[in-house]
Amino acid sequence: MRSTRTFSGRRAVVSAALCGALVGVGALAGGCGSEDAVAEDPEVSTQPSEEASAPPRTSGLIVLSAPAEGATVEGSFEASGKANSPEANVPWEIRDSSGEPVLEGHATAEGWMDKLYPWKTTVDVSDLEPGTYVFIARTDDTSDGEGKPAEEVGATITVE
């Protein structure tokens, strides 16, 4: 088990055994085993996209692998990524140019709670008018705002 902690703006990944030892010497006082622990997949960057105008493609709990930013789609396309969302539920939506949702659904990740798990779904856009949209995938917040807020990632797409 690994735990991610932030120290002076820097993140550290610490194993449970090392965490216990470090707490014993005061190096991680209050850090190990707390409810705010964030699982981290070392193969996934949690840095947002470089493009300021595009929605972020990664956050701490969800990553969007496909569609690519600026992708042109028609008929249907596969959306995929990794997530750690309650009950493995990954809600998604497509928003029009005014930001209003015009299509929504959900995917199911292969797991949840301890790390980011792969998810994928097929999105049917055949009923949408041609144009520019934003595909958004997010984590679920089943606590009515009392738990961690939902995180979202996205990509601008063009529907033909």
Long-range contacts of 2-7 (CB under 8 A, 24+ apart): 2/39, 2/40, 3/31, 3/32, 3/33, 3/37, 3/38, 4/37, 4/38, 4/39, 4/40, 5/31
Distance of CA 89 to the CA centre of its chain: 11
Domains delineated in the chain: 1-37 (no CATH), 62-159 (2.60.40.2550)
> Which residues lie closer than 8 Å to 112 by C-beta, 6 or more apart?
83, 84, 85, 86, 87, 88
The pLDDT of residue 142 is 79
pLDDT digits (tens, 9 = 90+) for 7-33: 333 333 333 333 333 333 333 333 344
- Condensed to tens digits (0 to 9), the pLDDT of residues 143-152 reads 877 877 889 9
Give the mean pLDDT of the chain.
76
- Residue 54 has what pLDDT? 59
pTM: 0.66
Instruction: Kindly report, residue by residue over 59-71, the tens digit of the pLDDT.
Output: 899 999 999 999 9
* CA-wise closest residue to 41 among 65, 57, 22, 63: 63
Distance of alpha carbon 59 from alpha carbon 118, whole angstroms: 15
Q: Two tokens at 36?
A: 């705010």
- Ordered DSSP codes for 18-42: HHHHHHHTTTTTTTTT-TT-B---T
What is the DSSP code string of 37-70? -B---TTS--PPPS-SSSPPSB-SSEEEEESPTT
